[in-house]
Structure 1
Amino acid sequence: MLIVLLQSLQFLLIIMVAYLFKKIKILKATDGIVLQKIILNLTLPATIVVGFNAVTVEPILFIMISLGLLSNIGLVMIGGFIWRKKDAPDQSLMMFSQAGYNIGNFTIPFVQGFFPAAIPYIGSFDMGNALMIFGGTPLIVDKLTHQQRSNNNLFRTFIGLFRSPSFTTYIIMFSLALTGVVLPENVLSVFQLFSSGNAFLAMFMVGLYLDIQIDLESLQKVVKLLLTRYTLGIGLALVFYFFLPLPDIVRLSLVLLALAPIGTVATINIITYGTERSLSSFLASVSIIISLILMTLALVFIL
């Protein structure tokens, strides 16, 4: 328990230091773009390689991919139903704020220090999650809100996923695992060198992007969105942990995923579908802080 609390406090410290650097103008929020490119193209793929190496492909990994898809579909539909009487931008806002998990930039860095063995399960879930946030969810939002903002179909969405280095790395490592190929230690050590900086860079980027300025009307809307998200998330976490006949580490991974913050792509889609950037940035920032607290509490109670 002490290790979990200490690790979470360290993450919070990194976020606060980055935010302080931004406020005193040592760095700018736009510097987070550089960190994001380093993370997405280098440290996160390296972390995935280290986590997936020597993994035995089991049916449970395919179950995780399916759960990543189904949980997103279910939550986006629930979001659309809850605000079904709102106008299209608000209904879209609710739908995007419920579905989609920030896994690459938050959940994987969070767990890699505690449970590196959980990365294959979380990564498999992220494959289903990515298919939805990069195309599936906008298609559902368009259908329910009678809009035509998404130009993708599912096939085009799947092909477009390979532009993401992390998704491509998932596929490569999954394929290697299927064929029984294991990277030798001298090769793996190179990836470990780069993956060791992933958690720090990810949390520092979060701090640079942190935005806590918002007007009262938008604040009230954000409270409703997050209250809905985390009520559903806690309910989903309880179902995952107490009702799924899966190994302990898998159920723990699912609990952390259910409590993960709103995905970065989801916040971009929120802006695309008519919500102000300031509200989207504040929503994402508060979501990260709440998720850090809830994921820490979940570990404390479960372990």
Structure 2
Amino acid sequence: MGAVLTQAISFLLVILVGYLFKAGGLLEERDGHTISKIILNLTLPATIIVGFNAVEIDSILIIMISLGLLSNILLVSIGGIIWRKKDTSDQALMMFSQAGYNIGNFTIPFVQGFFPAAIPFIGSFDTGNALMLFGGTPLLADKMLGQNRSSRGAKEVIFRLFRSPSFSTYIVMILLALFQFVIPENVLSVVKLFSSGNAFLSMFMIGLYLDFKIPRVDLTKVAKLLFTRYLLGILLALIFYFLLPLPQLVRISLVLLALAPIGTVSTINMVVYGNKASLSGFLSSMSILLSLILMIGALIFIL
């Protein structure tokens, strides 16, 4: 428990420093875009390579991919049903606020500090999560909303998926695991050098992106969205941990995933479907802070 609290305080401190750097004018939010490129194209793929190296492909990884898909389908459907009598933009807001997890920039760096052995399970779940974020969720939202905003064909969705360095790295590492290819230690030591900066850069970037400016009229709406997301997330976490016949590390991974913050692509889709950027930005910021608190609390309770 002491190690969990120490690591959690470290994460909070890095996020705070990032926010203070922005508030003090030393850095700007746009600097977060530069850091984001470093994370997405370098440190996160390196972390995935280290985590997946020498992993054996088994039924558990297939289950995790399936759960990544099914969780998103379930939650976006529930979101659409809950606000089915609202106007289209509000219904879309509820749907995208419930489905989609920020795994690459938040959950993996968080887990990296506690359970590095869990990264293959987290990454497998994220493979299913990415399939929904980049194509499945907008298609499902269109069907429930009677819209046709997501007109991407299958080829475009696949192309967009493989433009994501993390998704491409997942696929490459899974293929290497299928052929039982293990990256040599002397090569892996270089990759570890890059992966070691992933957690710090991710948390620092989150601090730069935190945004607490929002009109008061939208506060009630945000509160309802977050209450619904985390109520459903806690219920899902309880099901994952107490009902699934999986190893404990896998169940712990699923608990943390169920409590993970809203995915970045989901917040972008909120704006695409007619909602204000300020609202989605504030919603994302509050989701990150709430997820951090709940994930720490879950680890303290479990351990």
- Asked if Structure 1 and Structure 2 have the same fold, meaning a TM-score greater than 0.5 normalized by the shorter chain, the answer is yes
Q: Residue 217 of structure 2 aligns to which amino acid in structure 1?
A: E
Aligned equivalent of 2:264: 264
Task: Give the equivalent residue in structure 1 for 2:250.
Answer: 250
Shift of 1:137: 0.3
In the alignment, structure 1 residue 210 sits paired with structure 2 residue 188: no
Distance 2:156 2:268 in 1: 19
How far apart, in 2, do the equivalents of 1:115 and 1:10 lie? 16
What does residue 153 of structure 2 align with?
Answer: 153
1:78-117 correspondence runs (5 A)? 78-117=78-117
How far does residue 213 in structure 1 lie from its aligned partner after superposition? Answer: 1.2
Shift of 1:148: 1.4
> Where in structure 2 are there 5+ consecutive unaligned residues?
none
Equivalent-residue separation in structure 2 for 1:18 and 1:189 (angstroms):
28
Q: What is the CA-CA distance between 1:290 and the residue it aligns to? A: 0.3
Distance in 2, Cα, partners of 1:177 & 1:133: 25
- Name the counterpart of 2:55: 55
Q: Which amino acid aligns with 2:228?
A: T
> Following the alignment from structure 2 to structure 1, what is the Cα–Cα distance between the partners of residues 100 and 154?
17
Aligned equivalent of 1:295: 295
| Contact 1:135–1:153 (8 Å) recurs in 2 | no
> Alpha-carbon deviation of 1:155?
4.6
AA matched with 1:139: L
* SS state at 2:29 partner: coil
1:125-140 counterparts in 2 under 5 A? 125-140=125-140
1:158 deviation in Å? 2.5
- Corresponding residue of 1:222: 222
Contact 1:107 1:257 (C-alpha < 8 Å) held by counterparts: yes
Match of 1:121 in 2: 121
Q: Could you tell me how far apart the structure 1 residues matched to 2:172 and 2:160 are?
A: 16
Q: Which residue of 1 aligns with 2:192?
A: 192
Q: Count the aligned residue pairs.
A: 303
Amino acid at match of 2:269: N
Normalised TM-score (structure 2): 0.99
| Residue 154 of structure 1, CA deviation | 4.1
Q: Deviations over 1:40-59 (max 9, x none)?
A: 00000000000000001111
The percent identity for this pair of structures is: 69
Q: Alpha-carbon deviations, 1:199-254, whole Å to 9, x = none?
A: 00000000000001111111110000000000000000000000000000000000
Hey, what does 1:167 align to over in structure 2? 167
* SS of structure 2 residue aligned to 1:149: coil
- Cα distance in 1, alignment partners of residues 72 and 297 from structure 2: 23
Equivalent residues of 1:103, 1:263 under 8 A apart = yes
Distance of 1:179 and 1:155 partners within structure 2: 27
Contact 1:136 1:154 in 2 (8 A): no
Deviates more, 1:39-48 or 1:2-11: 2-11
The equivalent residue for 1:17 is 17
Partner of 1:37: 37
Alpha carbons of 1:82 and 1:154: their partners in 2 closer, same or farther (altered >3 Å)? farther
Matched AA of 1:216: R
Superposed CA RMSD in Å reads 0.7
Q: Retained in 2: the 8 A contact 1:211–1:281? A: yes
Give 1:169 shift.
0.3
